[in-house]
């Protein structure tokens, strides 16, 4: 991951695995990067370890809060695109919806997101169209 991040910082413009492999040090070949992108990583677990080790102190006051956030989007082919209620717009709008859990440090007044999940739109069943008997020719 260190090799990948350093290569990302060196790139300008379009980022591809081939471009990353050109800027990466030893251990960052094109095939290695392809294998790395195929692996599944539990990012919420890794983020929690970082927050717990580096940001949480033993004497602090912390709250765990959850919130559903909505991002408006005008596209038509984005995964998870649907109509969701937006409290800012006070109506249902087209976009993406995420459920986010955050650890809130009360003394520093900071929030650290520790887990998020994209909510998919509920598929609405299409109403059945009554069949009309077809007439014969003529």
Q: Where are the domains of the chain?
A: 1-39, 45-122
Over residues 67-78, the pLDDT tens digits come to 888 888 877 888
Confidence of residue 66 (pLDDT cuts 50, 70, 90): very high
Q: Enter the tokens of residue 74.
A: 């005008």
Answer whether residue 11 shows pLDDT above 80: no
- For strands 82-86 and 62-72, give the pairing: unpaired
Residues paired with residue 110 on neighbouring β-strands, in sequence order:
105
Q: Is the pTM of this model over 0.85?
A: no
């Amino acid at each position: 991951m260190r090799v990948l991040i350093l290569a990302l910082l060196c790139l300008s413009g379009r980022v591809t695995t081939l471009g990353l492999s050109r800027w990466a040090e030893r251990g960052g070949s094109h095939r290695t990067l392809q294998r790395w992108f195929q692996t599944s990583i539990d990012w919420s677990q890794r983020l929690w370890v970082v927050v717990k080790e580096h940001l949480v102190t033993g004497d602090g006051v912390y709250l765990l809060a959850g919130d559903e956030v909505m991002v408006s989007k005008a596209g038509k082919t984005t995964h998870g695109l649907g109509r969701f209620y937006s409290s800012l717009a006070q109506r249902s709008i087209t976009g993406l919806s995420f459920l986010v859990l955050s650890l809130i440090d009360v003394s520093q007044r900071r929030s650290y997101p520790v887990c998020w999940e994209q909510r998919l739109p509920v598929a609405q069943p299409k109403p059945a169209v009554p069949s009309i008997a077809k007439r014969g020719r003529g």
